[in-house]
Amino acid sequence: MSVDELFFIFDFTNFIAAIAATANVLRSQRGTSFFFFIYSSFLTDHPLSAMASGSKPQVEQGDSDLVVEDDKMYRNPTEVKMSQIVLPCHANHRKELSVGQLLKWMDCTACLSAERHAGCSCVTASMDDIHFERTIGVGQVVNIKAKVNRAFNSSMEVGIEVSCEDLYSNQQWKVCHAFATFVARSTRAEKICLKPLVPCTHKEQLEYSMAAERRRMRLLHIDIMKDLLSNKTFQWSPSEEGQNEQLTVPTEKTRVESVELVLPPHANHQVNTFGGQIMAWMENVATIAASRLCNAHPTLRTIDMFHFRGPSQVGDRLVLKAIVNNTFKNSMEVGVCAEAYQGEESQRHINSAFMMFEVLDEDGKPCPLPPIRPEPLDGSRRYQEAIARKKIRLDRKYIISCKQTEVPLSVPWDQSNQVYLSYNNVFALKMLAARTKWTLSSEKNNVRLYTLEENQTLCFRIESEVNVPAARAFLLLSDLCCRPEWDTLQCELIIQVNDDDFIYHVLTPSVSEGGKVQDFILLASRRPPCNSGDPYVIALRSVTLPTHPPTEDFNRGEMLCAGFIIYEVSKSVSKISYYNQTNPGVLPYISTDIAGLSSSFCYTFHSCSQYLLENRTRHSVLSDTEI
């Protein structure tokens, strides 16, 4: 018998054994016979499609994946799907899918989507924060969907959605979602310039628009960390918290170091170490570090951004290091990094991430964790940084991840959460503008008033075209201090956060005679277009400042979502739309217009148009060069 035949028999025997083990697990759980059905539409001639489990990513083929847009059937050309049945070899000690294995599948699917758009090889640059909402058991099916949201110069953002399917009950649920950044790589020396992505559906247009805002957050993440660490509020230590040293666990007890030799099966089709494999190895050592702290099997809940700082090749020795940085009552943060070297060369930093673990009791509730005792110098630094990252995670959860109905109207502003407030500000306005069921309520002198009633909220939109270039209109309307020249509002600039974000104190006259003047503290976030065809955006929302608390002289109002979106109709004409998601404090100003009893909106917008026409060339407080 030949060597090839022996290897074939060995692989086939292992495959049958894996299926038999899965059947035994499901039979013990269900008490019924075991049947399963796998459907795959294989991508042909693709090096990454040769997965060890035998299942390959597929392009959407079912009718349910088609989208009807403008009475036409449409399928996203970059969308790729992978479906995997979880076998015992993919599971951990709890008979649940290993997070490391899931990360490999997610990275593989996203890479195929990126390469479909780029038309060349792509490498993983980063993967944003991931929160795992549910676990996946043996015998269940993992469905992964990836598609390119936006292409920049040589990089692109890929959105990834992961869901789970139970073949017996026919139930499906969401597991997690993530955004990954991939960079196109040419086999030649020249840099690749990606073709622009053209969004077709309303959902794609929204993701396309917000991809630029998410990119902005990634680039500012390091600055946010520096600002937090320089803040004395976060300079805590275990001794200040009154911890009993006898009850603390030294961090050195949790330190893990492991070496992996990168072999050809660990490489991608570019002979670099597969990014998903590196993430899986990192998750493995992080789990070991967490287990040493709690002497139990932890559950991974959240991963902070994976950031690939350099490539690794076949033959590298990959050194993986993990240690518990801090504990927070029911959760712990584990820092993990990957470094590579060959021969006598010094170690190269490849990747780093931070993972949050919990220990669950029999009822699935988090257990309290012992406090840690960090080592001097580096241990204290990691301890402080973990506190800062927790603050960032809470800001993201509180400001970005909440549904709009769950977000309080006014959120406290500080420098550390500014990026996330700004993101939420722009995102909320673009979400409002993307809605489609607007109803024309009235029209006068080419000024149109639209309303939208949805989820027990009333929104309105006022729009008109003006013979002013879009860039100039954007510059003039961005400066709220000039608002009194065409409106009854009074505006005072409180803080210029940066070139694109400002905080104003705004006064509006009372609707009722003899009533108090209403005031607002508003965050204004302006965004010029990233590409041709994108609109100019000026988003407004309420925030709170400790320096400007409510007073008896004014009736403090709140605004959840408002602002201008300006489109370029031609070089000299722009379409200006003003949006507002009303609340009891705003509704009295527009209710008579919506009811058709007044047309004050028309006069206000006409005044705005006259102001823009009269100041087509006048210099504004906000410089043109800033745009």
Asked if residue 576 belongs to a domain, the reply is yes
Same domain for 18 and 42, yes or no, is no
Average pLDDT over residues 396-402: 57
Whether the CB-CB separation of 458 and 587 falls below 8 Å is answered with yes
What are the angstrom distances between the C-alpha of 430 and each of 433, 536, 559, 578? 5, 11, 16, 12
Question: How much is the pLDDT for 377?
Answer: 82
Same domain for 18 and 47, yes or no, is no
- From 21-35, 245-259, 517-531, the region with the lowest mean pLDDT: 21-35
**Which of residues 609 and 599 earns the better pLDDT score?**
609
496 pLDDT higher than 50:
yes
DSSP class per residue in 184-249: E--SSSSPP-PPPP---SHHHHHHHHHHHHHHHHHHHHHHHHHHHHTSGGG---TTTTT--GGG-E
Average pLDDT over residues 142-168: 94
147 pLDDT higher than 70:
yes
Question: How much is the pLDDT for 409?
Answer: 59
Same domain for 374 and 451, yes or no, is no
| Residue finishing a domain among 372, 401, 430 | 401
Question: How much is the pLDDT for 13?
Answer: 44
What confidence tier does 62 reach under pLDDT thresholds 50, 70, 90?
very low
**Which of residues 241 and 199 earns the better pLDDT score?**
199
Average pLDDT over residues 169-175: 92
Percent of the chain clearing pLDDT 90 (strictly above): 38
Average pLDDT over residues 47-62: 38
What is the Cα–Cα distance from 119 to 598, expressed in whole angstroms?
A: 57
Average pLDDT over residues 467-495: 90
- From 272-281, 563-572, 593-602, the region with the lowest mean pLDDT: 593-602
CA dihedral 414, 415, 417, 418 (to 10 degrees): 100
Q: Crossing angle for the helix pair 418-434 and 202-229, nearest 10 degrees?
A: 170
Number of domains in the chain: 4
Q: What is the CATH number of the domain that holds 350?
A: 3.10.129.10
575 pLDDT higher than 90:
yes
Whether the CB-CB separation of 532 and 524 falls below 8 Å is answered with no
**Which of residues 432 and 17 earns the better pLDDT score?**
432
Asked if residue 406 belongs to a domain, the reply is no
Average pLDDT over residues 53-63: 40
What confidence tier does 523 reach under pLDDT thresholds 50, 70, 90?
very high
What confidence tier does 486 reach under pLDDT thresholds 50, 70, 90?
confident
Question: How much is the pLDDT for 488?
Answer: 82
- From 47-56, 79-88, 149-158, 474-483, the region with the lowest mean pLDDT: 47-56
265 pLDDT higher than 80:
yes
What is the Cα–Cα distance from 131 to 108, expressed in whole angstroms?
A: 19
63 pLDDT higher than 60:
no
Count the neighbouring beta carbons within 10 Å of the beta carbon of residue 541: 28
Average pLDDT over residues 199-217: 84
Whether the CB-CB separation of 600 and 593 falls below 8 Å is answered with yes
Average pLDDT over residues 120-146: 92
Asked if residue 214 belongs to a domain, the reply is no
Same domain for 22 and 56, yes or no, is no
CA dihedral 355, 361, 365, 366 (to 10 degrees): -40
What confidence tier does 592 reach under pLDDT thresholds 50, 70, 90?
very low
Mean pLDDT of the chain: 80
Nearest to 558 by CA among 506, 520, 501: 520
What confidence tier does 442 reach under pLDDT thresholds 50, 70, 90?
confident
Same domain for 381 and 477, yes or no, is no
What is the Cα–Cα distance from 122 to 181, expressed in whole angstroms?
A: 10
What confidence tier does 347 reach under pLDDT thresholds 50, 70, 90?
very high
Domain coverage including residue 504? 418-626
149 pLDDT higher than 60:
yes
Count the neighbouring beta carbons within 10 Å of the beta carbon of residue 103: 23
Asked if residue 584 belongs to a domain, the reply is yes
Question: How much is the pLDDT for 388?
Answer: 84
Per DSSP, the three-state class of 563 is strand
Whether the CB-CB separation of 262 and 341 falls below 8 Å is answered with no
What confidence tier does 400 reach under pLDDT thresholds 50, 70, 90?
low
Tell me the helices (H) and strands (E) count for the chain, helix number first.
Answer: 9, 27
Q: What is the CATH number of the domain that holds 597?
A: 3.30.530.20
182 pLDDT higher than 80:
yes
Same domain for 432 and 307, yes or no, is no
344 pLDDT higher than 90:
no
Nearest to 159 by CA among 76, 91, 263: 76
DSSP class per residue in 255-268: -EEEEEE--GGGB-
Same domain for 458 and 312, yes or no, is no
Asked if residue 220 belongs to a domain, the reply is no
Average pLDDT over residues 115-138: 91
- From 25-34, 102-111, 236-245, 503-512, the region with the lowest mean pLDDT: 25-34
Asked if residue 212 belongs to a domain, the reply is no
Could you tell me how many residues make up the chain?
627
What confidence tier does 468 reach under pLDDT thresholds 50, 70, 90?
very high
Same domain for 27 and 120, yes or no, is no
| Residue 74 token pair | 């449409």
Question: How much is the pLDDT for 375?
Answer: 87
What is the Cα–Cα distance from 27 to 9, expressed in whole angstroms?
A: 27
Question: How much is the pLDDT for 44?
Answer: 32
What is the Cα–Cα distance from 177 to 142, expressed in whole angstroms?
A: 13
591 pLDDT higher than 60:
no
Q: Crossing angle for the helix pair 600-614 and 470-478, nearest 10 degrees?
A: 110
Asked if residue 2 belongs to a domain, the reply is yes
What confidence tier does 179 reach under pLDDT thresholds 50, 70, 90?
very high
264 pLDDT higher than 90:
yes
Asked if residue 411 belongs to a domain, the reply is no
Same domain for 16 and 72, yes or no, is no
85 pLDDT higher than 80:
yes
Question: How much is the pLDDT for 100?
Answer: 93
51 pLDDT higher than 60:
no
Same domain for 272 and 386, yes or no, is yes
What is the Cα–Cα distance from 61 to 259, expressed in whole angstroms?
A: 42
What is the Cα–Cα distance from 409 to 582, expressed in whole angstroms?
A: 11
Question: How much is the pLDDT for 45?
Answer: 35
**Which of residues 37 and 63 earns the better pLDDT score?**
63
Name every residue whose Cβ is closer than 8 Å to that of residue 60 and which is 6 or more positions away in sequence. 66, 75, 76, 79, 81
Name every residue whose Cβ is closer than 8 Å to that of residue 92 and which is 6 or more positions away in sequence. 98, 297
Question: How much is the pLDDT for 407?
Answer: 47
Same domain for 15 and 54, yes or no, is no
Nearest to 422 by CA among 383, 448, 396: 396
| Residue finishing a domain among 374, 401, 428 | 401
What is the Cα–Cα distance from 351 to 278, expressed in whole angstroms?
A: 8
pTM comes to: 0.70
Percent of the chain clearing pLDDT 70 (strictly above): 78
Question: How much is the pLDDT for 244?
Answer: 60
Same domain for 43 and 93, yes or no, is yes
